[in-house]
Amino acid sequence: MFNNLVFAESASRPTILVFGDSLSAAYRIPQAQGWVSLLAQRVKDNQLPYEVANASVSGETTAGGLSRLPAALRQFKPSIVVIELGANDGLRGLPLDAMKNNLEKMILASQQANAQVVLLGMFIPPNYGPKYTNGFKAVYLDLSEKYKTPFIPFFLNGISGHSDLVLEDGLHPNVNAQRKILENVWPTLKPLLISNINHR
């Protein structure tokens, strides 16, 4: 079911599950150079006792993610779930209420499975108008505050809009951007990993 898998050394270790779309699925770049693979290497280099699993699927919406998540939680039994979804909802102009409801159910399902959630936020281009654009951004902030999740407002910060860091489509991060994505995520994720170790 999941063909984008990246593992650290031991399957007996607690799992970080990255659950996203093409932005985390190493779209059109070598899998080993995607930011999730780089995360697995960073975890190993820091001698943190985790494995990393990537269940990201290109083109995924929050509705699709919600339908897939229960199986992923059963399969990987993650300690931490990094949710990176919503960009495709925004690009398709899908209703924000539905997007928020889907993300909320994913957060709750993850928490009910005893996993901590890290929420990766997205911005969308302004061509949908300020009401939709601002509402889209607010979805992530509202949910992170409601469920007290660690939160990165825009995990493509410093990448989006930089032609040297995106593919020809102007949207997807290229190989050169992947380490920057990791650096955007790592300062929020690392303290959580260390805290989990100390409380085990």
Q: Is 190 helix (H, G, I), strand (E, B) or coil?
A: helix
Cα distance between residue 67 and residue 51, in whole Å = 24
Q: pTM score, two decimals?
A: 0.93
pLDDT at position 198, please? 72
pLDDT at position 200, please? 61
Which residues are annotated as catalytic? 22, 169, 172
DSSP 88-137: HHHHTT--HHHHHHHHHHHHHHHHHTT-EEEEE-----GGG-HHHHHHHH
**pLDDT per residue as tens digits for the range 113-136:** 999 999 999 999 888 999 999 999
Q: Strand pairing partners for 20?
A: 84
- Per run of 10 residues, the mean pLDDT along the chain (length 200 residues) is 45 90 97 97 97 98 98 97 98 97 98 98 92 97 98 96 93 97 98 83
